[in-house]
A = this chain, B = another copy of it.
């Protein structure tokens, strides 16, 4: 493997004008990524789209990879926050309702910025820091495993680790597919229902 690029942010913005610059750069990164794809999204182009010089960009992001990593982080953070809070909300709800709510939450979370999400998933090489960022999924998986553990008596499952793994990936996959296919809302509802149905046949002890 080649030597890893620096990814730690070079400096922190201290004044509000520089914070605005950083935001503008990240926004521009998202736009350029969506419109040109990863390969053609050069730092010069991004800086120009942000109305900022390359120099400024490199004051806050030591490499292109770090820049994209920061964007991914910002994007996933907003998604994960939503999912986590919902998960906390349904901690004591009946199993069926909890599942329904969580699947809906996943659809919501993916609807935040679908175009950007698609580009990030499909085009951004998951190397270096980027792969760590994506591993937020692991965290969610662990939370789901805990959730299942707490409902142990209601479930037919015993290997809850494997169950959480399958569960998370299945829900993720279908949600992704639905978002990427840009289904109209009604059809998305159908898919969500279908998915919920599947999960509720899989999990509970009673059948």
Copies of this chain present in the complex amount to 2
| A190 close to B162 (CB less than 8 A) | yes
Q: For residues 4 through 47 of chain A, which have their beta carbon under 8 Å from a beta carbon of chain B? A: 35-40
How far, in angstroms, from A170 to B207 measured CA to CA in the complex?
21
How far, in angstroms, from A174 to B202 measured CA to CA in the complex?
15
Chain B residues, CB < 8 A from A170: 170, 173-174, 198
How far, in angstroms, from A2 to B32 measured CA to CA in the complex?
11
Which residue from B37, B159, B165, B187 sits with its C-beta under 8 Å from A125?
A: B37
Chain B residues, CB < 8 A from A162: 187, 190-191, 193-194
Chain B residues, CB < 8 A from A40: 2
Residue A172 interfacial (CB < 8 Å): yes
Interface mask (A130-170 → B, CB under 8 Å = 1, otherwise 0): 01000000000000000000000000010101110110011
Chain B residues, CB < 8 A from A157: 194
User: Which of A123, A170, A178 is packed against the most chain B CB atoms within 10 Å?
Assistant: A170
Residue A89 interfacial (CB < 8 Å): no
How far, in angstroms, from A35 to B2 measured CA to CA in the complex?
8
Please judge, given known A-B contacts A37-B2, A37-B127, whether A191 and B166 are in contact too, CB under 8 Å.
yes
| B123 close to A122 (CB less than 8 A) | no
The 7 tightest CB contacts between A and B, nearest first, are: A173-B173, A162-B190, A169-B177, A123-B125, A122-B126, A198-B202, A162-B194
Given contacts A2-B36, A172-B173, A197-B202, 15 further A-B contacts (CB under 8 A): A1-B37, A37-B125, A122-B125, A123-B125, A162-B191, A166-B191, A166-B198, A169-B174, A170-B173, A170-B198, A173-B173, A173-B174, A198-B198, A198-B202, A201-B207
Query: Taking beta carbons and an 8 Å cutoff, which residues of A are in contact with B?
Result: 1-2, 35-40, 122-123, 125-127, 131, 157, 159, 161-163, 165-166, 169-170, 172-174, 177-178, 187, 190-191, 193-195, 197-198, 201-202, 207
